[in-house]
Structure 1
Amino acid sequence: MTADVCDTAVKIYKDATCLPVFCPVPRRPGKGGVFDKEKRLIRSTLLLRHNFPSGVKSVDRPDLEHDPAVKTERIVREGTIGETESWLKGRYIFGGYFFYHYGHFLLETLTRLWYFKQFPDVPVIWISFEGDDFADWHVDLIRQLGATNEIICLKHQTEVESLTIPEPGYVISSRFWDCQVDALAMVRGYAPKAGKKVWLSRSSLKKGVILNESLLEECLTASGWTIYQPEAHSIADQVKMLADAEEIAGIEGSALHTLVLMPDYRGRITIFDRVHVSDFEMIADKLGVSQRMIQVQRMSLHIIANTWPNEINSWWKDIDEVLGHLDVVRPSYAGQAIDQRLAAITGSVAKYFGAKNCMELWPEHNTAAAGLAGLQRYLITNRARFDVAAAKQSGVNHFDVRPDVFFATACLRAPIDLFVFRAADEGDNVEQTFYGSLDVSHVNSLWIMDIPVEDAAARKPFERIMNSNPALSAARIQGSSYILLWRAIRSLAVTSLEWLRRQDLGQGAKWELPTMSLNDVAKQIEMDRKKNRSNAL
């Protein structure tokens, strides 16, 4: 699109009425818009996003009425005009709709930058979306891009004496004019610096995150990558960091739209798919950037109603697959020899009770489940410091994720016979993980839990679990830090006594577990199971 064509894409309206946008129904298109002096909607001011099911189809003037390839999403609908509350005399330029969000601000709020920066003496008005207003960083970015116009964000119905409305230079999924490319350029001419690789991290965000990204970042750091959290830096610093990088990679998100501020970038970009927004492809194609969009299997947490797809948290099923796309190898850890007592207990329990599968949680320096040949085995940990590649090659299912996150996802088809809870750290959500394991257990499932007698911090979550679940019984295995837990209804008298002790002491009761040999524990479990069956009859 040449500059002279852009110059013709402008219309001037006298006594135009600007109506701020509000959403009567959450997460639905808002009502607002701009109207001429006869109170007729100026359709070119509605915020439209054009998507093409068959892929990216760059068009300058989509035929919204007749082109079947165009799928239109209207974000702003015609609103109801009431009494005008304020008036602006003189000439103004319509900037569009103000979005606080970085990506939408960069691409859509600034979509008419190509025009208004040519007229620095003319104020620019934006229509507020849901009452939002410019923050310092929004203004700072506009100034760094060379626009010195007065900035006005309308929050009330306002009549404008003379309103110049240029067409947008950027429309999601369909339009990116040359003049808008030039207008957004903050830096130009940087050459890639050999060996500089930057990962744009989302790990400190709250929504739309990959929950095991931090583990990937550990591996990337060990391979010389820079882990960069853009939200902690100014936009100018972000551009400075990225402009001369040999490689930029990250999870699909707004931080990667910073590319439009450095249109001469000639490194390589790798984007791991999250919601697959076609704009990334359109922008890269327009700027001639070497870019890959890669899909890696993700497991989504339970979806909450009224949540946008790009706000749903998930986790990568296989970190090694992500590393492979970046030509990075997971650091090699020697690990430690397994505690022979744990190995003997795990092997004996699995054999005696005929377990067909075993799930080990939080293994850190070694693994007990990997040694149980013939069983379906699962390792769930976000901090493995042993050779997981060898475990995977032997048929173990390994998931690089926190156990509580794993259980918040529908991953398993068959219930688990034997759970092995390794020593948990203070930050681990042991209780939530245990209750998650109940969802994938059955009536005869068993839990081996590493809870040292002298570790009061480790005992507290276990004591809360026991105090809240009279249908569970447990015993410490003699000569070890391991507890075996199973389903068996304890005496109601004991349950009442513990409740009274909690009331008297004002705190959780301490369970004094019996200490028994492994054989005696096994016998007790068999007796309790027979009692359970009798009660069921």
Structure 2
Amino acid sequence: MGTGTASAPTVPDLSGSIADRIDLIEGAFVVPPAKGLGNRSVQRSGVLTPDGALVENSVTWRGMAQVTMAPAMPEGDIADLPGTWMFLGPLFGHFGHFLVESISRIWAYGALKDRIDGVLYVPKFQNRPGHVMNVYRPFLQALGVDCEMRNIEDPTRVERLYVPGQGFGMFQMIEGAPEFRDFVRAHAGKGIAPQGAEKIYVSRSALPPVRGSILGEALLEERLKAEGYEVFHPQKHSHAEQIAAYRAARQVIAVDCSPLHLLALVGHADQKVAVIARRDGHLDDIFARQIRAFQGAEATAIDLLRRNWIEEHASGPSRTSWGEIDFAELGRRLNAAGLIAGGLDWPDLTDAQIAAEVARISDGVGVPFRPWAGPPGTAPVEEE
């Protein structure tokens, strides 16, 4: 039986095997975030031993920071769940964070599936936990987790609970542990047939302006259409359709965005991918690292940011900011990467085009946007 810890949790090291990082707790307490607290960046939730010690493997990390902290021992009437289950951590409603942090423990399912009755999540925060579980249940099945799934909204005493350590995550954990990569390669998307264009541009142009992108994205789309690319809007397709499209594509271009996590999970080694930075923070490189590590595909990170345009009240680039990029150099980089045949004479955006884009975005969001003059390299708070 595994034990908890009273010492400070340590950041997971995924550079080698994590096969032994699975605790089995008899009478474990699964503690979700308290109701009524809203969507906080850090929540007190996780797994406790019968004597109230935190099970360190239940901590979820984002880079070097904890997303979950040790909860208090629950009091009062506690629900009991008989049987043997596996803990998967916090279930995010946000697709990008789900694709990184909510699947980070599925690597252990292959070894445990014949020993467990199902898998358990806790909500990232208490907002329609049953609905969020229903949204992602088919997707988890497509990734290879085919069993009963529950999102626990009240503290629960579980008869037997396996708690795997985190095997994947943002920033320094983006390549994943060997066991996580092996599970993904063996299972993710394998039941869905490839279907779609050979060349796709993963677009953000149909999203609300508050979601951020690059200035002149519509112009980029027109130039890529002339190169034979289909403009693909992931949010207009089911998860299965997205997987089918990414399995079919041989050339993919995108600004840095959450769907690239899915491409890394279900793509293939014969793909060429370009990831264009749309805001400061080196996320283009993080996505490219994941794609290379998971599938062995040829992934090129392209950071040609001249300026970040941010909301007037914002302190720096984030998931809502817009990037002003060097279009002429972008064409040359895509050509050099073998993703387009032309691109050597792409004109840059004019000052008038930039001003029109900023005005359009400001009107759409309802607040003025301004250029950010801060130091380069600041990572965004949110990754979407």
Per the shorter chain, which TM-score range?
0.7 to 0.9
Superposition pairs of residues 374-523 of structure 1, within 5 angstroms: 398-401=351-354, 403=356, 405=358
Give the 3 Å change call, closer, same or farther, for CA 8–263 of structure 1 in structure 2: farther
Counterpart AA for 1:123: G
2:377 aligned partner: none
Give the 3 Å change call, closer, same or farther, for CA 79–135 of structure 1 in structure 2: closer
Counterpart AA for 2:54: L
Question: 1 CA distance for matches of 2:33 and 2:306?
Answer: 35
Q: 1:16 aligns with which of 5, 14, 28?
A: 28
Give the 3 Å change call, closer, same or farther, for CA 26–151 of structure 1 in structure 2: closer
Counterpart AA for 2:71: G
Is the 8 Å Cα contact of residues 31 and 74 (structure 2) preserved in structure 1?
A: no
Say if 2:117 is the partner of 1:122: yes
Q: 1:222 aligns with which of 214, 222, 226?
A: 226
Say if 2:66 is the partner of 1:74: yes
2:289 aligned partner: 282
Say if 2:199 is the partner of 1:204: no
Superposition pairs of residues 70-149 of structure 1, within 5 angstroms: 72-83=64-75, 84-118=77-111, 119=113, 121-132=116-127, 133=129, 134-149=132-147
Shift of 1:306: 7.4
Q: 1:28 aligns with which of 28, 41, 48?
A: 41
Counterpart AA for 1:283: Q
Counterpart AA for 1:32: S
Question: 1 CA distance for matches of 2:316 and 2:52?
Answer: 34
Is the 8 Å Cα contact of residues 187 and 262 (structure 1) preserved in structure 2?
A: yes
Question: 1 CA distance for matches of 2:203 and 2:18?
Answer: 37
Q: 1:253 aligns with which of 235, 239, 257?
A: 257
Give the 3 Å change call, closer, same or farther, for CA 87–170 of structure 1 in structure 2: same
Instruction: Using CA pairs under 8 Å that are at least 6 residues apart, name the structure with larger relative contact order, 1 or 2.
Output: 2
Is the 8 Å Cα contact of residues 21 and 57 (structure 2) preserved in structure 1?
A: no
Counterpart AA for 2:321: N
Is the 8 Å Cα contact of residues 99 and 129 (structure 1) preserved in structure 2?
A: yes
Q: 1:312 aligns with which of 307, 320, 330?
A: 320
Length-normalised TM-score, structure 2: 0.73
Question: 2 CA distance for matches of 1:324 and 1:399?
Answer: 23
Question: 1 CA distance for matches of 2:23 and 2:147?
Answer: 19
1:323 aligned partner: 331
Counterpart AA for 1:181: R
Length-normalised TM-score, structure 1: 0.54
Shift of 1:86: 1.8
Counterpart AA for 2:73: I
Question: 2 CA distance for matches of 1:306 and 1:162?
Answer: 47
Shift of 1:293: 0.8
Give the 3 Å change call, closer, same or farther, for CA 408–289 of structure 1 in structure 2: closer
Q: What is the CA RMSD across the aligned residues, in angstroms? A: 3.7
2:237 aligned partner: 233
Counterpart AA for 1:247: Q
Give the 3 Å change call, closer, same or farther, for CA 10–407 of structure 1 in structure 2: closer
Give the 3 Å change call, closer, same or farther, for CA 311–113 of structure 1 in structure 2: same
Shift of 1:253: 1.0
Say if 2:35 is the partner of 1:43: no
SS at match of 2:269: coil
Unaligned runs of 5+ in 1: 51-71, 333-387, 410-428, 437-537
Give the 3 Å change call, closer, same or farther, for CA 268–187 of structure 1 in structure 2: same
Is the 8 Å Cα contact of residues 243 and 265 (structure 1) preserved in structure 2?
A: no
Counterpart AA for 2:245: M
Is the 8 Å Cα contact of residues 211 and 313 (structure 1) preserved in structure 2?
A: no
Question: 1 CA distance for matches of 2:314 and 2:69?
Answer: 20
Shift of 1:182: 3.1
Is the 8 Å Cα contact of residues 36 and 42 (structure 1) preserved in structure 2?
A: yes
Question: 1 CA distance for matches of 2:361 and 2:212?
Answer: 16
Question: 1 CA distance for matches of 2:134 and 2:331?
Answer: 38
SS at match of 2:300: strand
Counterpart AA for 1:35: L
Shift of 1:298: 4.5
Shift of 1:38: 0.7
Say if 2:271 is the partner of 1:267: yes
Question: 1 CA distance for matches of 2:218 and 2:17?
Answer: 47
Question: 2 CA distance for matches of 1:259 and 1:33?
Answer: 29
Q: Which has the larger radius of gyration?
A: 1
SS at match of 2:107: helix
Give the 3 Å change call, closer, same or farther, for CA 203–402 of structure 1 in structure 2: farther
Question: 2 CA distance for matches of 1:47 and 1:261?
Answer: 20
Counterpart AA for 2:49: D
Question: 1 CA distance for matches of 2:221 and 2:20?
Answer: 49
Shift of 1:73: 0.9
Is the 8 Å Cα contact of residues 202 and 209 (structure 1) preserved in structure 2?
A: yes
Question: 2 CA distance for matches of 1:257 and 1:316?
Answer: 24
Give the 3 Å change call, closer, same or farther, for CA 302–281 of structure 1 in structure 2: closer
Counterpart AA for 1:323: G
Counterpart AA for 2:31: L
Shift of 1:243: 2.3
Is the 8 Å Cα contact of residues 27 and 306 (structure 1) preserved in structure 2?
A: no
Unaligned runs of 5+ in 2: 1-12, 370-384
Q: What per-residue deviation string (whole Å, max 9, x for no partner) do you get for residues 248-282 of structure 1?
A: 11011111112333353322110011332354243
> Among the aligned pairs, what percent are the same residue?
22
Shift of 1:27: 5.0
SS at match of 1:401: helix
SS at match of 2:93: coil
Say if 2:246 is the partner of 1:242: yes
Shift of 1:406: 5.2
Is the 8 Å Cα contact of residues 200 and 228 (structure 1) preserved in structure 2?
A: yes
Q: What per-residue deviation string (whole Å, max 9, x for no partner) do you get for residues 420-462 of structure 1?
A: xxxxxxxxx7xx99x99xxxxxxxxxxxxxxxxxxxxxxxxxx
